[in-house]
């Protein structure tokens, strides 16, 4: 097997087959393509005794490289059999040519349009999910014995009881911070006793339900999404549907009902610890005794502020449970999708909680303290 160069003519001979492929490549590499740039050469292949797909592929690639280097190439001397084989190899090479990337770059209008369409479809899907949950809840109200009470109790344990330490600690610290920040100004005017109003109103109406909801969204809402998402990946959701069990009834309702009980109770717990934290700092920093602080609370606070906070918590609970479960059902594929939807569940829950909190503040602005 040889490659002979005579002026502008290259003569090929020997067996261009798989067992000689390394030798063929070595001979081809010895030929400097730059010596033939902008020139015309003839390749005579009459001397090729045998040719298989490996040798043919190597030969066609070499001719392709010559053409790419601006060398006019003319190939002569193929037998009918060899020419048919090369035609077949060339056809297969074209079939496996990588598709050119679309040079199209999205403009800002197109990007906004795609994002808006995706958001619209997601909102419609979420509303449909809420409707399905509502219908299932209505049927359960008519048949309360069908509720999975064991799962309900387990979810109260994880969503409520297990969250008590972190909720208590963070709200205690929030109360301390509020007392310190508000007390600095009140102390300047000698109005130390009004720190009771600052702490009580802030914690009962706003901070306790909001901070608790954010904690629960990150802690429990993400757990709901991850649990249902993992079941989707393992095809357990499909298995439930196959045997005639509603995933909404089996998975969503126990979680949502448990959250509707746990979050208002956690908010009550947060109210107590938040006010206690403010009371401790008021005693240390503003010389407001525990007795004066406690006696002043019922004088300035009505039951309305407490009920507003608990009502918020009840709505927040529904939002967090529905969002977490919905995102769990959106998991498609593998573990990456579980992580993505879990993160989305937390972000969407916190976003919706803050939106609803703002709406509550506007609607209850005229409610007396």
Which band of pLDDT confidence, cut at 50, 70 and 90, is reported for residue 156? very high
Chain-centroid distance, C-alpha 359: 27
CA angle 313/315/317 to nearest 5° reads 65
Least confident of 72-76, 119-123, 224-228, 269-273: 72-76
Residue 145: per-residue pLDDT: 83
Q: Please name the helix (run of DSSP H) or strand (run of DSSP E) that holds residue 337, with its range, or none.
A: helix 335-363
Chain-centroid distance, C-alpha 117: 18
Residue 24: per-residue pLDDT: 78
CA neighbor of 308 nearest in space, from 189, 200, 186, 226: 200
pTM exceeding the 0.75 threshold for the entire prediction:
no
- 3-state DSSP call for residue 10? strand
- 98, burial (CB in 10 Å: exposed 0-12, middle 13-18, buried 19+): exposed
Residue 265: per-residue pLDDT: 95
Q: Which residue has the tokens 């309900």?
A: 152
User: DSSP code of 73?
Assistant: E
- Nearby residues of 312 by Cβ (< 8 Å), 6 or more positions away: 209, 210, 213, 267, 356, 357, 360
Residue 175: per-residue pLDDT: 93
Domains and CATH numbers, the chain: 2-95 (3.30.750.24), 115-363 (no CATH)
Least confident of 18-27, 301-310, 349-358: 18-27
For the cut 60, the answer to whether the pLDDT of residue 73 exceeds it is yes
What is the tens place of the pLDDT at every residue in 257-311?
999 999 999 999 999 999 999 999 999 888 888 898 898 988 888 788 889 999 9
- Give CA–CA dist 239/241, Å, rounded: 5
For the cut 90, the answer to whether the pLDDT of residue 321 exceeds it is yes
Q: Output the CA torsion sign for 234, 236, 242, 248.
A: negative
Question: Strand 72-76 vs strand 9-16: parallel, antiparallel, or unpaired?
Answer: unpaired
Q: Determine what percent of the chain is predicted with pLDDT higher than 90.
A: 38
What is the overall mean pLDDT for the chain?
A: 85
- 3-state DSSP call for residue 31? coil
CA neighbor of 324 nearest in space, from 354, 348, 340: 348
* Mean pLDDT of the 176-181 span: 91
| Bridge partner list, 76 | 44
- For the chain, the farthest-separated pair of C-alpha atoms sits apart, in whole angstroms, at 112
Buried b (16+ CB within 10 A) or exposed e, 103-121: eeeeeeeeeeeeeeeeeee
């Amino acid at each position: 097997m040889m490659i002979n160069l005579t002026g502008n003519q290259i003569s090929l001979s020997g067996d261009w087959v798989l067992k000689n492929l390394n030798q063929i490549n070595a001979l081809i590499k010895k030929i400097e393509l730059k010596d033939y740039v902008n020139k015309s050469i003839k390749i005579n292949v009459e001397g090729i005794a045998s040719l298989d797909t490996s040798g043919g592929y190597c030969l066609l690639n070499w001719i392709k490289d010559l053409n790419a280097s601006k060398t006019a190439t003319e190939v002569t001397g193929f037998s009918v059999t060899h020419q048919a084989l090369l035609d077949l190899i060339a056809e297969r090479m074209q079939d496996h040519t990588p598709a050119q990337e679309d040079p199209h770059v999205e403009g800002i209008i197109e990007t906004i349009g795609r994002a808006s369409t995706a958001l619209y479809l997601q909102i419609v899907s979420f509303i449909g999910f809420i409707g399905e949950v509502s219908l299932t809840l209505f049927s359960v109200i008519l048949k309360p014995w069908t509720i999975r009470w064991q799962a309900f109790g387990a979810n109260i344990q994880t969503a409520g009881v297990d969250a008590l330490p972190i909720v208590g600690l963070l709200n205690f610290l929030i109360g301390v911070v509020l007392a310190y920040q508000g007390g600095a100004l009140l102390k300047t005017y000698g109005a130390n006793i009004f720190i009771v109003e600052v702490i009580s109103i802030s914690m009962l109406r706003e901070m306790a339900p909001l901070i608790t909801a954010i904690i629960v969204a990150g802690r429990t809402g993400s757990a709901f999404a991850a649990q249902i998402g993992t079941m989707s990946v393992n095809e357990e959701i499909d298995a439930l549907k196959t045997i005639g069990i509603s995933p909404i009834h089996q998975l969503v309702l126990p979680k949502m009902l448990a959250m509707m009980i746990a979050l208002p109770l956690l908010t009550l717990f947060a109210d107590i610890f938040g006010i206690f934290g403010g009371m401790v700092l008021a005693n240390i920093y503003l010389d407001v005794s525990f007795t004066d602080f406690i006696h002043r609370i019922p004088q300035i606070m009505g039951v309305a502020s407490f009920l507003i906070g608990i009502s918020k918590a009840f709505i927040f609970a529904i939002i967090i449970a529905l969002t977490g479960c919905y995102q769990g059902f959106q998991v498609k594929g593998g573990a990456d999708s579980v992580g993505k939807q879990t993160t989305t569940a937390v972000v969407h829950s916190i976003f919706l909680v803050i939106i609803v909190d703002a709406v509550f503040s506007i609607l209850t602005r005229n409610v007396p303290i």
